[in-house]
Chains A and B, each alone.
Chain A
Amino acid sequence: MAKRPVLQDFVVERDESRCVACQACVRMCSNDVHSYDPETNKVESDSAKCVGCHFCESFCPTKAINIKRSASQFRENANWQYRDIANLVKQAETGGVLLTGMGCDRPYPVYWDHILLNASQVTNPSIDPLREPMELRTYIGRRPDRIQWTVDSGQWTANKKQSSSIQHPASSIQSLLKLEIPIMFSAMSYGSISYNTCVSLARAAREIGTFWNTGEGGLHPDLYEFGKNTIVQVASGRFGVHKDYLETASAIEIKIGQGAKPGIGGHLPGEKVTGDISRTRMIPEGTDALSPAPHHDIYSIEDLKQLIFALKEATRYSKPVGVKIAAVHNVAPIASGVVRAGADYVAIDGLRGGTGAAPLTIRDNVGIPIELAIAAVDTRLREEGIRNQASLIAAGGFRNSADVIKAIALGADTVYIATSALVALGCNLCQKCYTGKCNWGIATQDPYLTKRLNPEIGTQRLVNLLRAWSLEIKEMLGGMGINAIESLRGNREHLRGVGLSDTELRILGIKAAGESW
Chain B
Amino acid sequence: MQDEPTPTELIKAVADFLRNEIVPQIKGHNAFKLRVGINALDLVTRQLALEQGNDAAESARLTQLLGAGGSLIELNRALSDKISKGEVDLQTPGLAEHLWQTTMDKLAVDQPNYASYKRELGKS
Partners in one complex: no
User: Which residues of chain A have a CB within 8 Å of any CB of chain B?
Assistant: none
